[in-house]
């Protein structure tokens, strides 16, 4: 016998057997140990209990039999059948045992203990023997045949019958088992022991060699055997049939039988059911996989039943059929595609269906709507009908056809060209052309006729011309037959079934003809007789050949005529040719001249630039020399005139540059040099240039920058030029106290327009792909421009006021330049203005996003954007009476890492500064009562807060006064983030470095030096002192000062030598010098100090307070410059 | 005292350059045409030659070629001092072999700073705004 069935989930193991057996053993022990328990029930009660337990056991035995009898298929194990047969007998014998029990009514003979015991022992014997048979028999795991099954169950009936017979009718043959009054006989007890031994033997066999029985759930069988052994033990122990051991024995028996029933049930019902379910699931899964595979095949896949019904189609097959799946499934091919029986595809399917064979075909299929497709089909007969794999090869087929046609066409062209080019006799030419056409059409009959007086004359024919066509070909009267019709209509024509009406038909049943036309003149007809009408592309090819032939025919004619012309004419032609050639040469020459003209123009520009600069060099150079006092001091009037000359020279130079720029644009020599441009910094720097000039005229500068600006790709120099020109124009034409605003925003192409509130004009934008534009505008509150001037405004040398005494200087080229530069970028310009309300100039530049922000631009922004101690926001005090301005400043400061508090008046500001000790103060000058200057003075007077850096933020740009009063920086409103960043960058190190700054004071006169040093020591400046140049150098070597104050009145040339010595070393060359002098300096002296000279203070106009302020300012500037330096170098 | 040779045919512009250099304490040699300039350069070995480009006869670029060809003058520093101030002129002249470039009209501060830079051997010292 093999191991247990591999699918069995219930492995037999001693442990699971013990699960049942050990409780039984414990129960036994309990009953054993109960001291006085034998008499548990009254005899009358006991009978009912006994019958109940027996009946239970019988019922179970019957069920075991029933399962064994009706087990099905693979679960019909031989072991099960044997046990079932055994238990049939057990059930029958036990029934007799129950009926014979003491107290039961007579069953054939009178009931008695002996009778019951005989049945009992027989039943036990049969049961244990049937199990032993299973354990020892090693039955193979397969079923008995029906006969063996019947024989087995039959023998069970025979055994039962034998037992009945013996006990009921031959009781004298059986030994005595029970003696009333004396109890069980030793024989009975001995037999019980024998039964125990049999049970234990079977059990041990199973425990030692699990799987022997071949039954799934064998552990139950093991437990059942053990419990049966216990049961038998109980029956050796009782003294009275009513006592506890007897009852326990019956209980054990019922339990054991129940376990046997379970094992048979598991083997014959549960396991087979589970196996069935598992195999069903596996089947489903594999079916699903199959379906999935078919569905996702790149080929179409369909199964067609023997009745031509579609049984299955995958997605691709449905696509191939060009119908929804519902329209296909379950319907026959003839229903779906009427007339399919005639198609080649059906013939192939039919062959396969009939021969039950496979086939592969490539076939064209015509759909009901007339469209065609080529399919590659693998057909295979399968039990269900036909299995068809299909691929759509239409594209391949078409391209094959096209290729083939192309090749034939290429041959046709080559042949015809060769024929037309041979130029000998027209006959030969025509013959060869017809050969070519015939070849092209697969050997069809090709003919060509030329127009005669009345009829068409056959000139050449090629290919297979059937005899029945002969009379239609050889001579064609006008309007007669196909060729005559073509000649008549002068149109290409296709005729079919030409021979039908004459009763003849054959290979050549269609005609395709083309007229040989040159303009309106007909020279003949070309045609081909074919089996079927020609396709369009073939007709076109023939048309081309016809045109070629017509041309060649004309040429032949012309050649003949030419030959007829006399020599004189030939000569005249030759003369004309010569004339033409000469004219051609002249043209080439002129072209060359034109080309050089442009070059000459640019050379002219270069020369003009050179020639104008040469005299200007002297004008500007000398006037500057005079103005700067290099040739001696001038009196004020002289200085004024010289300055006028210098400025005029500058103006002239500007003009020249503008003219050159304009000319360069006009001649196309100006090229853009695009790079990423940060719009905000661009606007800021453009404004910075104009700021001083605006301040001189008290013109407020505004900035309106839309927030969504990024870097754009443009030429920054040209943009700056545009903005500078616009801003300086605006400032120029705005009266003092006015306002100039610079703005930028992004607009869509469709939104490019001027504001509606004023008359305006703008130049239409050239068509281009750019959709988004940067709109830059400058508006002023100036004198405005009359509407009539708008258009001329952007032309060179036009100013609004063109009278000779015009008030406003300017080259008049600025706006023209702006327009050209904008157009060069792909943008345009516009203006709107009214004389009262001022003007607004707008420039649109394509908004092309820069790939990356310019490293240069980023480098220009100092690290102030990320202050070193940015972790903890620092406190800034904003002294400003205008709420909106204060908010704006607060926002900008926030970006630089400052938290801000606010004071609306100078008084409040002083209180808050003293109380909250801000790290920075921004100060407006125009405040309600006490003004900013007052605030500054009082701030400096309070030693506790005197050192707080103050940034003056004002429309006033009185730099000197602010700095003199101790402000650290002066910013003019409005200012950009960058400007603020720069201003704060100058302050930052002072905040962060605890080191005080060092000033080296080099002065000879002891008392001067003392006084100055005392003054400086009031602040946080460390003052080093030196009295000679040598001392100064030594001091510098010890420690580099931040500033050197140098008294030029040192003996001899000591001060100048010192300055030059400092300049020779790179590390000392950058130390700024503040020179003190009692007299005016000569030009040479100024030049010698030029390198790092910061300022010359003349002692005549000298005040100690002013000196201290100047030193402080110089130090701050130095610091700012040192921070700028690395950026500039990059 | 550094010695500087100016080759310049326009007498007024010559005067301007010469004065400025003299103010700055340089010794100035003057030549109104290229051949005379070559001669002076050979004999007096100036620390710097300032060469106009548009000169009568031999032009400044040709003169530079002569200076470089002659072993006696090949090592001299030569800067262009020219009214050729269009875009690209500076690059063209530096490529031709000039050590520096000054565009007219000159501004004294930039000019003298540039000259000082060249004399100090700073190869990148040059000035002039190109248009």
Residue A818 and residue A831: Cα distance in Å, rounded?
12
* Residue B7, strand partner residues: B31, B51
List of chain B residues whose C-beta atoms are within 8 Å of the C-beta of residue A625: 16, 19-20, 108
Cβ count near A292 (within 10 Å): 11
User: What is the pLDDT, as a whole number, of residue A1080?
Assistant: 63
Using 50, 70 and 90 to split pLDDT, how confident is the model at B124?
very low
pLDDT of A872 strictly over 60: no
Q: Does A601 touch chain B (CB under 8 A)?
A: no
Nearest to A4 by CA among A54, A79, A71, A110: A79
Using 50, 70 and 90 to split pLDDT, how confident is the model at A1128?
very low
Nearest to A313 by CA among A324, A323, A300: A300
Q: Which residue of A has its CA nearest to B54?
A: A610
Residue B29 and residue B3: Cα distance in Å, rounded?
7
Chains A & B: contacts with CB separation below 8 Å: 80
Query: Which pair of structure tokens corresponds to residue A15?
Result: 């442990």
CA distances from A79 to A212, A455, A805 (A): 10, 110, 134
Contact A241, A250 (CB under 8 A): no
Sign of CA dihedral A273, A274, A275, A277: positive
Top mean pLDDT of A104-118, A148-162, A563-577, A803-817 is at: A148-162
Sign of CA dihedral A189, A191, A195, A201: positive
Burial track A154-173 (b if 16+ CB lie within 10 A, e otherwise): eebeebbeebbeebbeeeee
**What does the radius of gyration of chain B's CA atoms come to, in whole angstroms?**
13
pLDDT of A1026 strictly over 60: yes
Name the 3-class secondary structure at A1012.
Answer: helix
- pLDDT tens for each residue of A81-116: 888 889 999 999 989 988 888 778 888 888 778 888
Q: Is residue B130 part of a domain?
A: no
CATH number assigned to the domain covering A14-270: 1.20.1070
User: What is the pLDDT, as a whole number, of residue A604?
Assistant: 78
Using 50, 70 and 90 to split pLDDT, how confident is the model at A184?
confident
| CB within 8 Å of A264: residues ≥ 6 apart | A64, A67, A68, A80, A83, A84, A215
- pLDDT tens for each residue of A942-951: 877 877 888 8
Give the CATH fold of the A997-1129 domain: Rossmann fold (3.40.50)
Q: Is residue B71 part of a domain?
A: yes
- pLDDT tens for each residue of A247-270: 788 888 888 888 888 887 777 777
Task: Provide the CATH number for the domain around residue B97.
Answer: 3.40.50.2300
Q: Which residue of A has its CA nearest to B8?
A: A614
Nearest to A797 by CA among A996, A659, A641: A659
Name the 3-class secondary structure at A1095.
Answer: strand
Using 50, 70 and 90 to split pLDDT, how confident is the model at A991?
very low
Give chain B's domain count: 1
**What's the average model confidence in pLDDT over B98-118?**
89
List of chain B residues whose C-beta atoms are within 8 Å of the C-beta of residue A610: 54, 82-85
Among A672, A1087, A1089, A1129, which would you mutate to test the B interface (most chain B Cβ atoms within 10 Å of its Cβ)?
Answer: A1087
Q: Is residue B77 part of a domain?
A: yes
Q: Which of A606, A611, A617 sits opposite B13 (nearest CB)?
A: A617
**Helix H or strand E encompassing A1093:** strand A1093-1098
Flag if B19 and A657 touch (Cβ within 8 Å).
no
Flag if B113 and A621 touch (Cβ within 8 Å).
no
Name the 3-class secondary structure at A640.
Answer: helix
Q: Does A624 touch chain B (CB under 8 A)?
A: yes
**What does the radius of gyration of chain A's CA atoms come to, in whole angstroms?**
61
Domain coordinates in residue numbering, chain A: 14-270, 294-392, 410-564, 594-670, 671-852, 861-992, 997-1129
Contact A211, A3 (CB under 8 A): yes
Q: Is residue B91 part of a domain?
A: yes
Query: Which pair of structure tokens corresponds to residue A378?
Result: 């693998």
What is the helix, strand, coil percentage profile of chain A, to 5? 55, 15, 25
How do beta strands A760-762 and A838-846 pair? unpaired
**Helix H or strand E encompassing A875:** strand A874-879
Contact A158, A125 (CB under 8 A): no
Q: What does pLDDT average to over chain B?
A: 87
- The reply to whether A294-392 and A410-564 are identical in fold is yes
Alpha carbon A376 to its chain's center: 39
Q: Which of A366-380, A395-409, A1046-1060 has the lowest mean pLDDT?
A: A1046-1060
Domain boundaries A594-670, CATH class: mainly alpha
Q: Which residue of A has its CA nearest to B11?
A: A618
User: What is the pLDDT, as a whole number, of residue A42?
Assistant: 61
Burial (0-12, 13-18, 19+ Cβ within 10 Å), A1013:
middle
How do beta strands A300-304 and A385-392 pair? antiparallel
Query: Which pair of structure tokens corresponds to residue A470?
Result: 């002969």
Q: What are phi and psi of A15, to 5 degrees?
A: -65, -45
DSSP A266: I
- Cis omega (within 30 of 0) on the bond before A974? yes
Q: What is the largest CA-CA distance in chain B?
A: 37
pLDDT of A5 strictly over 70: no
Flag if A1088 and B10 touch (Cβ within 8 Å).
no
Sign of CA dihedral A241, A247, A248, A253: positive
Q: Which of B104, B108, B113 sits opposite A624 (nearest CB)?
A: B108
List of chain B residues whose C-beta atoms are within 8 Å of the C-beta of residue A660: 86, 131
Using 50, 70 and 90 to split pLDDT, how confident is the model at A556?
confident
Alpha carbon A1012 to its chain's center: 70
- From A945's Cα to the closest Cα of chain B, the distance in A is 42
Residue appearing with tokens 């010695």: B3
CATH number assigned to the domain covering A861-992: 3.40.50.2300
| CB within 8 Å of A669: residues ≥ 6 apart | A602, A605, A663
Give the CATH fold of the A294-392 domain: Beta-Lactamase (3.30.450)
Sign of CA dihedral A486, A489, A492, A498: negative
Burial (0-12, 13-18, 19+ Cβ within 10 Å), A137:
middle
Q: What does pLDDT average to over chain A?
A: 78
Q: Is residue B74 part of a domain?
A: yes
Flag if B108 and A606 touch (Cβ within 8 Å).
no
**What's the average model confidence in pLDDT over B15-25?**
90
User: What is the pLDDT, as a whole number, of residue A956?
Assistant: 61
Query: Which pair of structure tokens corresponds to residue A263?
Result: 């094992």
Using 50, 70 and 90 to split pLDDT, how confident is the model at B34?
very high
Query: Which pair of structure tokens corresponds to residue A703?
Result: 């900035």
Instruction: Please provide the DSSP assignment of A66-115 as one string.
Output: HHHHH--GGG--HHHHHHHHHHHHHHHHHHHHHHTSTTSPPBSB---HHH
Question: Chain B interface residues facing chain A, Cβ-Cβ under 8 Å?
Answer: 10, 12-13, 15-16, 19-20, 23-25, 54, 82-86, 103-109, 112-113, 116, 131
Contact B52, B84 (CB under 8 A): no
Identify the architecture of domain A410-564 in CATH: 2-Layer Sandwich (3.30)
Q: Which residue of B has its CA nearest to A1084?
A: B23
Torsion of CA A372, A376, A381, A387, to 10 degrees: -80
- Domain A671-852 CATH (choose: 3.50.50.60, 3.40.50.620, 3.20.19.10, 3.30.565.10): 3.30.565.10
* Residue B80, strand partner residues: B51, B101
Flag if A661 and B106 touch (Cβ within 8 Å).
no
Flag if B104 and A616 touch (Cβ within 8 Å).
yes
Domain that holds residue B37: 3-119
Top mean pLDDT of A137-151, A712-726, A1056-1070 is at: A712-726
- From B106's Cα to the closest Cα of chain A, the distance in A is 6
Q: Is residue B128 part of a domain?
A: no
| CB within 8 Å of A1035: residues ≥ 6 apart | A1000, A1024, A1026, A1041
Q: Is residue B92 part of a domain?
A: yes
Q: Is residue B126 part of a domain?
A: no
**What's the average model confidence in pLDDT over A613-637?**
85
Residue B67 and residue A844: Cα distance in Å, rounded?
52
- Of A1072 and A437, which is predicted with more confidence? A437
Contact A825, A837 (CB under 8 A): no
How do beta strands B78-82 and B48-51 pair? parallel
CA atoms within 13 A on the CB side of A145: 2
């Amino acid at each position: 016998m093999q191991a247990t069935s591999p699918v069995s989930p219930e492995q037999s193991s001693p442990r699971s057997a013990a699960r049942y057996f050990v409780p039984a053993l414990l129960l036994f022990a309990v009953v054993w140990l109960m001291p006085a328990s034998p008499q548990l029930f009254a005899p009358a009660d006991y009978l009912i209990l006994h019958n109940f337990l027996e009946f239970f056991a019988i019922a179970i035995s019957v069920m075991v039999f029933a399962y064994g009898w009706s087990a099905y298929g693979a679960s019909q194990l031989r072991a099960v059948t044997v046990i079932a047969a055994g238990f049939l007998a057990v059930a029958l014998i036990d029934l007799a045992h129950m009926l014979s029990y003491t107290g039961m009514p007579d069953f054939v003979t009178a009931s008695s203990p002996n009778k019951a015991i005989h049945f009992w022992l027989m039943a036990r014997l049969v049961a244990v023997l049937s199990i032993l048979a299973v354990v020892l028999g090693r039955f193979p795991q397969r079923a008995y045949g029906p006969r063996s099954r019947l024989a087995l169950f039959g023998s069970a009936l025979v055994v039962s019958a034998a037992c009945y017979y013996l006990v009921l009718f031959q009781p004298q043959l059986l030994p005595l088992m029970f003696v009333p009054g004396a109890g069980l006989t030793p024989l009975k007890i001995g037999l019980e022991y024998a039964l125990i031994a049999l049970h234990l033997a079977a059990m041990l066999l199973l425990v030692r060699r699990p799987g022997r029985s071949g039954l799934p759930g064998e552990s139950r069988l093991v437990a059942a055997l053990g419990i049966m052994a216990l049961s038998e033990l109980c029956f050796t122990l009782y003294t009275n049939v009513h006592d506890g051991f007897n009852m326990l024995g019956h209980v054990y028996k019922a339990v054991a039988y129940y376990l046997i029933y379970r094992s048979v049930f598991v083997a014959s019902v549960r396991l087979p059911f589970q196996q069935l379910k598992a195999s069903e699931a596996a089947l489903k899964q594999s079916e699903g996989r199959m379906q999935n595979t078919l569905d996702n095949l790149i080929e179409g896949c369909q199964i067609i039943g023997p009745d031509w019904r579609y049984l299955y189609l995958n997605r691709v097959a449905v696509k191939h059929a060009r119908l929804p799946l519902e329209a296909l499934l379950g319907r026959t091919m003839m229903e779906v595609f009427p007339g399919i029986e005639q198609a080649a595809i059906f013939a192939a399917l039919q062959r396969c269906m009939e021969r039950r064979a496979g086939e592969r075909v490539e076939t064209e299929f015509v759909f009901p709507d007339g469209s065609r497709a080529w399919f590659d089909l693998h057909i295979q007969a399968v039990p269900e009908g036909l299995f068809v794999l299909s691929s759509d090869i239409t594209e391949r087929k078409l391209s094959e056809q096209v290729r083939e046609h192309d090749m034939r066409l290429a041959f046709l062209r080559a042949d015809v060209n060769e024929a037309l080019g041979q130029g000998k006799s027209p006959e030969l030419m025509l013959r060869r052309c017809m050969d070519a056409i015939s070849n092209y059409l697969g050997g069809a009959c090709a003919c060509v006729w030329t127009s005669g007086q009345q009829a068409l004359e056959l000139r050449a024919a090629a290919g297979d011309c059937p005899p029945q066509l002969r009379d239609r070909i050889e001579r064609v009267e006008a309007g007669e037959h196909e060729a005559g019709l073509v000649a008549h209509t002068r149109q290409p024509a296709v005729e079919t079934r030409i021979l039908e009406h004459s009763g003849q038909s054959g290979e050549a049943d269609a005609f395709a003809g083309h007229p040989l036309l040159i303009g309106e003149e007909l020279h003949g007809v070309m045609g081909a007789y074919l089996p079927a009408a020609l396709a369009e592309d073939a007709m076109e090819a023939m048309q081309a050949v016809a045109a070629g032939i017509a041309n060649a025919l004309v040429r032949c004619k012309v050649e003949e005529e030419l030959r007829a012309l006399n020599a004189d004419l030939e000569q005249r032609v030759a003369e004309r040719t010569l004339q033409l050639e000469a004219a051609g040469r002249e043209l080439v020459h002129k072209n060359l001249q034109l080309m050089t003209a442009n070059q000459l123009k640019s050379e002219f520009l270069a020369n003009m630039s050179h020639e104008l600069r040469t005299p200007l060099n002297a004008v500007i150079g000398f006037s500057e020399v005079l103005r700067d006092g290099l040739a001696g001091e001038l009196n004020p009037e002289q200085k004024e005139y010289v300055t006028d000359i210098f400025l005029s020279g500058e103006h002239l130079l500007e003009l020249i540059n503008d003219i050159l720029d304009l000319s360069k644009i006009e001649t196309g020599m100006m090229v853009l040099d695009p790079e990423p441009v940060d719009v905000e910094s661009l606007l800021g720097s453009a404004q910075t240039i104009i700021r001083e000039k605006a301040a001189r005229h008290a013109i407020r500068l505004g900035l309106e920058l839309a927030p969504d600006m990024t870097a754009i790709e443009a030429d920054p120099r040209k943009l700056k030029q545009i903005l500078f020109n616009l801003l300086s124009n605006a400032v120029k034409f705005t009266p003092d106290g006015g306002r100039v605003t610079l703005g930028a925003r992004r607009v869509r192409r469709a939104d490019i327009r001027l504001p509606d509130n004023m008359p305006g004009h703008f130049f239409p934008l050239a068509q281009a792909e750019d959709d988004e534009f940067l709109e830059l505008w400058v508006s002023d509150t100036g004198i405005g421009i009359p509407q009539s001037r708008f258009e001329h405004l952007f032309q060179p040398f036009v100013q609004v006021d063109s009278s000779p005494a015009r008030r406003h200087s300017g080259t008049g080229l600025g706006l023209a330049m702006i327009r050209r530069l904008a157009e060069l970028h792909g943008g345009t310009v516009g203006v709107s203005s009214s004389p009262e309300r001022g003007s607004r100039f707008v420039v649109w530049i394509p908004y092309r996003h820069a790939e990356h922000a310019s490293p240069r631009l980023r480098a220009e922004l100092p690290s102030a954007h990320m202050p070193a101690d940015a972790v903890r926001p620092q406190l800034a005090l904003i002294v400003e009476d205008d709420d909106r301005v204060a908010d704006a400043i607060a926002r900008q400061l926030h970006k630089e890492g400052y938290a801000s508090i606010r004071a609306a008046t100078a008084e409040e500001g002083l209180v808050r500064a003293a109380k909250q000790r801000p790290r920075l103060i921004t100060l407006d000058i125009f405040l309600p009562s006490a003004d900013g200057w007052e605030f500054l003075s009082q701030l400096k007077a309070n030693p506790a807060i005197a050192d707080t850096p103050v940034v003056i933020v004002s429309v006033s740009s009185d730099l000197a006064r602010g700095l003199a009063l101790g402000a650290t920086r002066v910013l003019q409103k409005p200012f950009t983030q960058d400007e603020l960043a720069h201003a704060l960058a100058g302050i930052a190190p002072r905040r962060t470095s605890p080191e005080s700054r060092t000033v080296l004071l080099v002065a000879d006169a002891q008392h001067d030096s003392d006084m100055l040093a005392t003054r400086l020591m009031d602040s946080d400046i460390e003052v080093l002192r030196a009295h000679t140049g040598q001392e100064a150098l030594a001091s510098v070597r010890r420690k580099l000062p931040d500033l050197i104050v140098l008294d030029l009145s040192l003996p001899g040339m000591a001060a100048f030598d010192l300055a030059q010595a400092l300049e020779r070393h790179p590390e000392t060359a950058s130390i700024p010098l503040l020179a003190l002098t009692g007299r005016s300096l000569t030009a040479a002296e100024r030049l010698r100090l030029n390198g790092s000279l910061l300022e010359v203070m003349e002692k005549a106009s000298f005040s100690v307070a002013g000196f201290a302020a100047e030193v402080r300012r110089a130090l701050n500037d130095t610091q700012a410059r040192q921070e700028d330096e690395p950026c500039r170098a990059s | 005292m550094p010695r500087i040779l100016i080759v310049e045919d326009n007498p007024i512009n010559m005067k301007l350059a010469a004065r400025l250099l003299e103010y700055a304490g340089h010794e100035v040699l003057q030549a109104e045409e290229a051949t005379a300039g070559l001669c002076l350069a050979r004999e007096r070995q100036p620390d710097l030659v300032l060469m106009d480009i548009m000169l009568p006869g031999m032009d400044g670029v040709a003169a530079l070629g002569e200076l470089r060809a002659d072993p006696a003058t090949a090592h001299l520093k030569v800067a262009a001092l020219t009214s050729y101030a269009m875009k690209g002129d500076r690059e063209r002249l530096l490529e031709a072999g000039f050590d520096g470039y000054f565009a007219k009209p000159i501004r004294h501060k930039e000019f003298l700073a540039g000259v000082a830079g060249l004399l100090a051997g700073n190869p990148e010292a040059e000035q002039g705004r190109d248009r």
